[in-house]
Amino acid sequence: MPYKSMENLYSTYCDSLVLKVTRIEREIERLKNLLIANAEGHKETNDCIITLWHGVTESEVTKDNIYAIKRKESSLLSVLYRLDAEKDELIASQHEQEDEKSRLLQLRASYERKKRKWSLCQQKVKRLRSVKKIALEEYSIEECIAWKI
């Protein structure tokens, strides 16, 4: 029966989309955890830069000290900029995953509607067959009655 096979096909599609959505949700959660770790690294690097310059005010300020601190600061700033770039990439990736999840959920809803349509078609065919069978039985009963009369 083609209706049942179409219903099964769309049921399979729905199940596969559920698995994909679950995988995407796990990926989004992983990205959120990476963003949290990135924010912690950003804060630590920022604190290092601040403490770096606090140390200057407590000691003698010489040209060599300033150059050394500037080198350390530039190294820390490069780490900070790298963390900012990673954060932007993570956020963009998270948005892509959320968009993909939304698209898959819409596709799943479409498949659910099609599955329901084929299920209703199958039920309609079953009803028509039973009505046809009942009509055929009624006809044969009427024919038997007509022969007996």
**110 domain-assigned:** yes
How many structural domains does the chain have?
1
**8 domain-assigned:** yes
**97 domain-assigned:** yes
26 is in which domain, residue-wise?
2-120
**136 domain-assigned:** no
Q: Is the pLDDT of residue 1 over 70?
A: no
Q: Is the pLDDT of residue 99 over 70?
A: yes
Q: What is the pLDDT of residues 106-146, one digit of tens each?
A: 999 999 998 899 889 889 988 998 888 888 888 888 888 87
**140 domain-assigned:** no
**Nearest Cα to 73, choosing from 45, 93, 100, 98?**
45
Q: What is the pLDDT of residues 23-47, one digit of tens each?
A: 999 999 999 999 999 999 999 998 8
What does the alpha-carbon distance between residue 66 and residue 57 come to, in Å, rounded to a whole number?
11
**CATH of residue 74:** 1.10.287.1490
What does the alpha-carbon distance between residue 14 and residue 56 come to, in Å, rounded to a whole number?
63
What does the alpha-carbon distance between residue 17 and residue 23 come to, in Å, rounded to a whole number?
10
Q: What is the CA radius of gyration of the chain?
A: 35
**16 domain-assigned:** yes
Query: What pTM was estimated for this model as a whole?
Result: 0.68
